[in-house]
Structures are given as C-alpha cells and as structure tokens.
Amino acid sequence: MAEADPILGRGSSGFLASHNLFVRIASAVILAPLALAAAYFGGIPFIVFWCVAALAILWEWLALVTGAANVLTFLVGAAAVAISALMAGREHPITAMLVIALGALAAAIFAQSERRTAVAGGVAYSGVMLLAPVLLRADDQSGFAAIVFLFAVVWTTDVFGYFVGRVIGGPKLLPAVSPNKTWSGAVAGLVGAALAGVLLGSYIIGTNWFPAGFTAILLSVAAQIGDLFESGLKRRFGVKDTSQLIPGHGGVMDRLDGFWAAALLSVIIGLLRGGFAAPAQGLLVW
C-alpha cells in the first residue's frame, strides 16, 4: 500500500484523484461555453453541435454493445441522424422523428441477430440526443431560456452530487449499478437543481418560482436516472467509460447521459403543454 501523503492524499491514488478532478474541470471550462454559445446562436450552429454529439454517441453505443462498432451499421444510423437533423432544421419535426425510427429499424437489419434490439436502441438514443434539445431551441420566444434552464439543472445536479457525495459519502444509492453514487449526493443534486430552477425562474426567465423549482426537481431526477441507466449499461458490457474522447470524463455518452434523460423529459413536457409550435414555453410557462 502506498504511503499516505499529507498534501496529495493516499499516495498515488490521491494524486490521480486530484489530477482527474483537474482534467474534468478543464474539460468543462472548455465545453460549457461552447455549448452555451451554440445555444445562444441557435439555428444551424446549434443543430450541427448536437448532430455531432449524437453521431459520437451512436459510435460509442455501437462499439459498446457490439464489441467493435460495425461500420455499415454505423453509417446507416448516422445517415438517419444526419437526415433527421436536416428535417428538424427545415422545421419538419415529425418527419425528423420518423427518420430516426426508420433508421433504427434499418440499422438493426445489418446487425447480428442477438444485437438487433441493442443496435436499434442506440440509433433511437442518439436520435433523442439530437432532437430533444433542437426541438426545444426551435421555440423562437423561449428556446434559449429553456436550454439554459436545462443546462443549469443538469450541471448543478452533477456538481452538487459529485462534491457532496465525495465529502459526505454515506449509504450507496444503487451499488449494484453504480458503486460510487450515494444518497447524500443524490439529495444534494436535487437541492442544487431546485435552487437553480427557482433562481432562474424567478429572476431571469420570469416564471413562477414554485413550478420552476418543481420542474427542476423532476428534471434532476430524470438526469440521475439517465446517469444510472448508462452506468448499468456499461456494467452490463464490462467497461468503465464509453470512450476517451473527453479528457477526465470518458466519452460523449458519459458526459451527456444525465442531459439526455433530462432533455427527453423536458421536450415531452414541452410538447404536451405547448405543442410543436412552443415546446419551450410549454416547459417554462406555468
């Protein structure tokens, strides 16, 4: 066992933990402004940003479930994602959704029989990653506010959960799926998200504080479920990270697992309340 170091912690493990935290922060400092800039400009830059993210996730998913990403299967799924992005950009959201569904079926045809469901699921998963934020941002009146709200909820959930979970520790949330997550971190994530939702809703977006906070809690729960889902998927296939594309975070899928689930719930709420014409207002205006 390594000798304890009073500055770095327990030998090399303390150094590695500190280094990993530094790399995570550095990556976030670069990626967060890029995501916000894309959201601010909207339109083609925003669609391209999420199309690239969706394609990276599709590649990681296929590599995870098949052992090595099948090029033909990936190309079929990628074509569906790209065409769906084009349809969304031309304001044909239903067509965009149908393209993803057809792409999932087509990709499954080229997969091994025992992997067809998993491959189709990967195309659907990446399609949600593309379309959920794009549909929200397409709302001219409240689209940018909805994306900022979504970012704030997911990021505060991650940050509060990560640091409180490490400092306080305590009982594990779901050790069979994710051995490092704790109840203290999960509750802290909910509290942080609620505070972010109330502050944004009351002082920036201009909506009522109670529904803003409640919506933030729902999205925080979704984000944590999305995180656990991806952890379970990785455990099922025996890997730690889906790739090493983002230093300190692993793959794109590792970084966006919580955002994926929160964005999906956001667009469902938005569409149910505001329709395709105003999904962002449906999410934010109560």
pLDDT cut 90: percent of the chain above it? 66
Query: What's the whole-number mean pLDDT along residues 209-220?
Result: 95
- pLDDT per residue as tens digits for the range 239-276: 887 887 776 667 899 889 999 999 999 999 999 999 99
Q: How confident is the model at residue 279 (pLDDT cuts 50, 70, 90)?
A: very high
- pLDDT per residue as tens digits for the range 179-201: 889 999 999 999 999 999 999 98
- pLDDT per residue as tens digits for the range 129-168: 999 999 999 998 999 999 999 999 999 999 999 899 889 9
Q: Which has more confidence, 265 or 7?
A: 265
- pLDDT per residue as tens digits for the range 10-52: 344 454 455 555 666 776 778 889 999 999 999 999 999 999 9
Position 169 scores a pLDDT of 86
- Domain map of the chain by residue range? 21-284
> SS3 sequence, the chain?
CCCCECCCECHHHHHHHHHHHHHHHHHHHHHHHHHHHHHHHCHHHHHHHHHHHHHHHHHHHHHHHHCCCCHHHHHHHHHHHHHHHHHHHCCCHHHHHHHHHHHHHHHHHCCCHHHHHHHHHHHHHHHHHHHHHHHHHCCCCCHHHHHHHHHHHHHHHHHHHHHHHHHHCCCEEECCCEEEEEHHHHHHHHHHHHHHHHHHHHHHHCCCHHHHHHHHHHHHHHHHHHHHHHHHHHHHHCCCCCCCCECCCECHHHHHHHHHHHHHHHHHHHHHHHCCCCHHHHHHCC
- pLDDT per residue as tens digits for the range 74-83: 999 999 999 9
